[in-house]
Amino acid sequence: TSARPFNFAPGPATLPEPVLRQVAAEMLDWHGSGMSVMEMSHRGKEFGSILEAAERDLRELLAVPANFRILFMQGGGLGENAIVPMNLSRGGKVDVVVTGSWSRKSAAEARRYADVQIAADIGKTGVIPRDWALRDDAAYVHVCTNETIDGVEFHELPQLATGVPLVIDVSSHLLSRPIDWSRVGLAFGGAQKNIGPAGMTMVFVRDDLLGHALDICPSAFNYETVAANQSMFNTPPTFAIYVAGLVFQWVKGLEYAGKRGLAAIEQRNIDKAALLYGALDASGFFKNHIDPSCRSRMNVPFLLKDDRLNETFLAEAKSAGLLSLKGHKSVGGMRASIYNAMPLEGVQALVGFLKDFEARHG
């Protein structure tokens, strides 16, 4: 329990308070080493144990199969928009399903390396399109499984009939739910939502997709090179990996509704999202425009009936201890990001505030 305000920022985002406290306690002297993790050699045995535990816990939490490598890289989600086509496209065809701003950006970046086709586009419909124009000879199909800005999430991964590898951008819902690896060739995500500090990117890549990088691919971004060096080809983002490792421990130990670990986090995320969407749908004043079949559990955009009240809403929310609710400028209105580390009490407080605001201004 904490006196800190609830932070609904889209990323960098709220982190579990016990993790922040542990980081603070270990800042000057990690486990008697006499060093902060920031000050350690990435090749020393102390950091080696941190990296190994983080990878092991992440693999265990997400049940990542043995034929997938987990890479800790840098460059973020936008970096991966170039790194993925440099490693996987072989200069050939890439099909992209556009469900919002992030997949649209991925398509634009991949065009510099590959023959990109938009297989389907959500446009302004608010529902993931059913029919995709996929090419059998594409090198991969790219999907963003949670659109952070638009609030659109795949609740089931597509099963591609063609056998073409599926690449998923999981930046904003990684570790919020299990992943069906049987449908995935590669998954990538930045850390700064559910995982830890910005600066670290996680890549989960199936073995058979290694070793096909274009000549122009920088060595530090060549998955085969990074994998062969256990994410230590160059200096990895050591502090971010350390904090992420503590977050993995926190998820493993989390208990909720009789469940533990990832199952507990997922159930808590389901309940938080149901509470918030329920309140929005019940109100005559706030509105979310995404089809219930693909509403995001992580990012909940909503508009006020009268957008002249936006500034008042944000100011009053801040006074009530509810931070960072401003929506992305491309969508307008508000957005509540309710990542793993947002407790149920945070969403309850937000819902209480919405009702109160509507009663006073509606």
Q: Which residues are annotated as a binding site?
A: 43, 102, 148, 169, 192, 234-235
- In the annotated binding site for pyridoxal 5'-phosphate, the residues are 102, 148, 169, 192, 234-235
Residue 126 near residue 134, CB atoms below 8 Å: no
Of 30, 93, 95, 102, the active-site residue reads 102
CA distance 208 to 204: 12
Residue 195 C-beta: closest distance to ligand PMP, Å: 11
Residue from 217, 119, 100 nearest 169 by CA: 100
Using CB under 6 A, which residues numbered 2 to 61 contact ligand PMP? Answer: 11
Q: Is 171 in the site for ligand PMP (CB under 6 A)?
A: yes
Of 30, 57, 150, 193, the active-site residue reads 193
Residue 296 near residue 280, CB atoms below 8 Å: no
Residue 301 C-beta: closest distance to ligand PMP, Å: 13
CA distance 261 to 246: 13
CB of 13 or CB of 40, closer to ligand PMP: 13
Q: Is 172 in the site for ligand PMP (CB under 6 A)?
A: yes
Residue 122 C-beta: closest distance to ligand PMP, Å: 14
CB of 64 or CB of 170, closer to ligand PMP: 170
CB of 78 or CB of 254, closer to ligand PMP: 78
Residue from 63, 66, 82 nearest 74 by CA: 82
Other Cβ atoms less than 10 A from the Cβ of 254: the count is: 17
**The only residue of 14, 148, 296, 340 in contact with ligand PMP, by rule CB under 6 A:** 148
Residue 142 C-beta: closest distance to ligand PMP, Å: 11
Residue 141 C-beta: closest distance to ligand PMP, Å: 16
Q: Is 169 in the site for ligand PMP (CB under 6 A)?
A: yes
- In the annotated binding site for L-glutamate, the residues are 43
Residue 14 near residue 342, CB atoms below 8 Å: yes
Q: Is 194 in the site for ligand PMP (CB under 6 A)?
A: no
Select from 85-93, 165-173, 179-187, 260-268 the region that touches ligand PMP (CB under 6 A).
Answer: 165-173
Q: How many residues bind ligand PMP (CB under 6 A)?
A: 12
Mark whether 102 is an active-site residue. Answer: yes
Select from 152-160, 168-176, 229-237, 249-257 the region that touches ligand PMP (CB under 6 A).
Answer: 168-176
User: Positive or negative CA dihedral for 256, 258, 262, 267?
Assistant: negative
| Total residues found in the chain within this entry | 362
Contacts of 111 (CB under 8 A, 6+ apart): none
Which residue reads 């992943």 in tokens? 179
Residue 250 near residue 57, CB atoms below 8 Å: no
Q: Is 144 in the site for ligand PMP (CB under 6 A)?
A: yes
Residue 47 near residue 40, CB atoms below 8 Å: yes
**Per-residue binding letters, 69-108, with ligand PMP (x by CB under 6 A):** -------xxxx----------------------x------
Backbone angles phi, psi at 46, to 5 degrees: -65, -55
Which residue reads 């124009």 in tokens? 133
Q: Is 283 in the site for ligand PMP (CB under 6 A)?
A: no
CB of 249 or CB of 269, closer to ligand PMP: 269
Of 30, 93, 169, 250, the active-site residue reads 169
Name the helix (H) or strand (E) containing 73. strand 68-73
CA distance 8 to 14: 7
Mark whether 193 is an active-site residue. Answer: yes
CA distance 190 to 155: 20
Q: Is 110 in the site for ligand PMP (CB under 6 A)?
A: no
Residue from 224, 225, 220, 219 nearest 207 by CA: 224
Which residue reads 């930045």 in tokens? 190
Residues contributing to the site for ligand PMP (CB under 6 A):
11, 76-79, 102, 144, 148, 169, 171-172, 190
Give catalytic residue positions.
Answer: 102, 169, 193
